[in-house]
Amino acid sequence: MKKMKWILFLFSITNAILAQEAAPVQKFSLSPEHPNPGDEITITYIASDSPLQNAKNVTGVVYTFDNFKWLANDITMQPAGDKKWQTKMKLSDHASFISCVFKSDTLVDKGEKMPHAWMFEKVPGAYIGWGLLRSKPFQDQVPNIVHDSAYIKNEVGLMWANYELKYHPESRKRIFFEGLKLKQLVTGQDEAKLIKRELRFVLADNNLDNTAQYSIQKSLALLPLEANKAFVDSVQTVLLAKYPKGVLARDQEIRKVFMESAFDKKVKLYEAFEKNFPQSSFEDVYTDTESLFYDKMFKAIAYTYIVNNKDYNYAINSVKKVSFTNLLDYHWHLVSIPFNRDSDGIEKANIETLRKYSDAIIAEMESREAYVPKMYAGKLSLKEWQAKVLDYAAREYFTRAKLLEATKAYDLEEKYLAKIKPFFGYKDASYNEVYTRMLLRKGKTVEAKEYIAAAVKENQVTPEILASLKAIYLKEGGNEVGFEAYLQSLKSESNIQDHKKKLISELINLPIEGFELESSKGGKVKLADQKGKIVVLDFWAMWCGPCKNAMPGMQMAVKKYQNDDNVKFYFVDTQEYIKDFKAQTQAFIKEKGFDFTILYDGKNPKTGKLDQVYYKYSKAFKFSGIPEKMIIDQNGKLRWMSNGYFGSPSELLDEISIIVSYLKEENK
């Protein structure tokens, strides 16, 4: 009788905690009051005094611990008056525990110290689900949804594991790894005796599922290997004997295929692996070995076919069986890189072939948006996965859109531009250029003008966009003289001032050695002869895509100062390795219509390469890579440096202009 009373007291404490009865206002509740798995329930959320108290819409995700697996389901809340939100949903058939996260745009309410959670204590998994969700040692295997303040000590996590075993002893074979790990963390002692006892108990079962098999592997990893090698080997031998096509056997084969260096043998090993361990049989388990080596194993085969035999078919024909990560990698290497190199004038590509590859890869990528892959199962809802896909794949979808434009598939291009607009819209100059071009092609002049205005405010425009805006402005009755003032009126003054403040804070004042280099316009240019002038140097090369991408912005700067003899721009062509680079350089500059004075870097006696000045400056000022921009003031001092290119021609123009204007004022 006393024991029964104690148990009932325990349950009342548990429900009080989960229902947050101690809080002044109950933020989260379910009805009916005592729901069971499989029931339809109403979830009520009160947003007052929460991050969402002023929200106009609320969505969320319900994370369910069901049969010792996590499920994640999107919900949409409906207003129910006085900052109250509700929705109905059907509990899964074996739900033992749920936790909710509520959202509105970028705001999130996890419940802070007390998550919005509910325990169905009569169902196996209830206690361990509540404990694991808030235990940091298991962050990699549970949804990462609790506030930092909600994490519990390992001792408390172990308490919840013990409660699970006390009230649901049948859970023992489902939670033995978690219990053993917590026990070892709490005691800080060698728990080999306990671990071995538990593993012998579990191994007595001849019908272990994939999850239990992998839990045995993880439990073995808790043992110091040197002192327990014989036991570890014996357990692995038993696992392989009982489950020759099980999780451990599969992990070992993944490593074996990955490590094989002979290509023909690697291919045969993979073919046997694929037959013996089909992916469909392992959708319920995702091991560390698979995470580390599976994708690399397959990519090594696919890309070796390409490198050795120029055979792209193996990769393209495998799109349905590779991971989403590999699909991204395929599209980047087989489509985006050659397309970008073609666009940058580095290497010609067959656009129709790229379109064919893109068609196959992108179709499969989009089909994967319909379901959450196993590595994220239970951790991300479908909408969260789709948001992650957009984050991962936006660049590839953008290449897709540009490729469709190049092949005049305009309707499809518009589809992909719309798809990635939430990711890029207004904040990426390259995207803004293509999107504006699409609007103008469709005759949507008013919409294009509005879009360009928003892009100008973000300082993410290209010369082409500005030319389009000017054409619209003139057509609407504006005049040449007034365009610059009109353009300035569209810009964000606060953004300009913030940018200016940041750049001025980065100014330096260092001595710099001179140079004397051959000029594309004849003769030689000496830095020493430029005293009294502001000199802008841009180190670049024909093989450097980012260098070329930055050139429209640099052309804008050159044009702005074309009549100012006190500002000189020199583009130092460095690190070239082909014999006719000068001819290719001239052809490229002419093709693009750039008005640049090119200086050819000299031969470096230390390296034997054409990087004499670049090498000297990179060592002196500790930078590497190109493009590298440097501004030297009227007194011959280095005042500003910038490495790389960040994607906006108009922003680059502003950077050059701000520094040049500051140096002019400073020298008065």
Tell me: do 115 and 156 sit in the same domain: yes
Question: From CA 519, how far away is CA 600, in angstroms rounded?
Answer: 7
Asked whether residue 91 falls in the same domain as residue 171, the answer is yes
- Residue 449 forms part of a structural domain: yes
Q: Indicate the residue among 144, 170, 189 that finishes a domain.
A: 189
Q: What CATH number has the domain bearing residue 653?
A: 3.40.30.10
Amino acid letter for position 590: K
Q: What is the pTM of this model?
A: 0.89
- Domain shared by 539 and 642, yes or no: yes
pLDDT of amino acid 435: 98
Beta bridge partners of 643: 628
516 in the same domain as 634: yes
Is the model's pLDDT at 1 over the cut of 80?
no
Of 473, 491, 509, the position where a domain reaches its end is 491
Kindly state whether residues 43 and 117 are assigned to the same domain: yes
Indicate the pLDDT class of residue 454, thresholds 50, 70 and 90: very high
> 57 lies in a domain?
yes
Whether residue 245 lies inside any domain: the answer is no
Q: Judging by DSSP bridges, how do beta strands 567-573 and 598-600 pair with one another?
A: parallel
Do 82 and 183 lie in a common domain?
Answer: yes
How many angstroms separate the CA atoms of 650 and 623, rounded?
24
* Bridge partner residues of 97 (DSSP): 65, 119
How would DSSP label each residue in 527-553? GGGGTTSEEEEEEE-TT-HHHHHHHHH
Work out the average pLDDT over 115-141.
96
pLDDT category, 646, cuts 50, 70, 90?
Answer: confident
The pLDDT tens digits of the residues spanning 52-67 come to 999 999 999 999 999 9
Output b/e per residue, 259-280; b: 16+ Cβ within 10 A: ebeeeeebbebbeebeeebeee
**Phi and psi torsions of 489, nearest 5°:** -70, -20
* Structure token pair of residue 144: 């990462």
* pLDDT above 60 for 660: yes
Is 223 part of any domain? no
Give me the number of domains the chain comprises.
Answer: 3
- Show which of 173, 189, 205 is a domain's final residue: 189
Instruction: Tell me, yes or no, whether 433 and 571 share the same domain.
Output: no
**Residue at 302 is within a domain:** no
Q: What is the pLDDT of residue 259?
A: 97
The 10s digit of each residue's pLDDT in 538-561 is 999 999 999 999 999 999 999 999
Structural domain includes residue 450? yes
496-524 CB burial, b ≥16 within 10 A, e <16: eeebbeebeeeeeeeebeebebbebeeee
Q: Is the pLDDT at 433 greater than 60, yes or no? A: yes
Q: What is the mean pLDDT of the chain?
A: 93
Segment 590-599, tens digit of pLDDT: 999 999 999 9
Look up the domain containing 42 and give its range.
28-189
Percent of the chain exceeding pLDDT 90 equals 91
- C-alpha span between 630 and 655 (Å, rounded): 12
Reported as a pLDDT band with limits 50, 70 and 90, residue 6 is very low
d(Cα 519, Cα 527) in Å, to the nearest integer? 12
Burial zone of 605 (CB within 10 Å; 0-12 exposed, 13-18 middle, 19+ buried): exposed
Tokens of 47: 């947003």
Average pLDDT over residues 437-444: 97
Check whether residue 472 and residue 537 sit in a common domain.
no
pLDDT confidence bin for 495, thresholds 50/70/90: confident
Question: What DSSP state is assigned to residue 73?
Answer: E
Q: Taking a C-beta distance cutoff of 8 angstroms, is the pair 331, 361 a contact?
A: yes
CA distances for 112 relative to 17, 20, 55, 68, 360, angstroms: 14, 12, 18, 24, 45
Token couple for 504: 């001025």
Are residues 126 and 90 in contact, defined by beta-carbon separation less than 8 angstroms? no
In a domain, 63, yes or no: yes
DSSP code for 426: T
| pLDDT tens by residue, 318-375 | 999 999 999 999 999 999 999 999 998 889 999 999 999 999 999 999 999 999 999 9
Residues 479 and 508 in one domain: no
Residue 15 pLDDT > 50, yes or no?
no
The answer to whether residue 170 sits within a structural domain is: yes
pLDDT above 50 (res 138): yes
Burial 180-219 (b: 16+ CB within 10 A, else e): bbbbbbbeeeebeebbbebbeebbeeeebebebbbbbbbb
**From the CA atom positions of the chain, what is the Rg in Å?**
32
- Domain identity same for 478 and 593: no
| Length of the chain (residues) | 668
197-245 per-position pLDDT tens digit: 999 999 999 999 999 999 999 999 999 999 999 999 999 999 999 999 9
Angle at 474 between CA 469 and CA 479, to 5 degrees: 120
- 565 shares a domain with 644: yes
Whether residues 471 and 581 fall in one domain: no
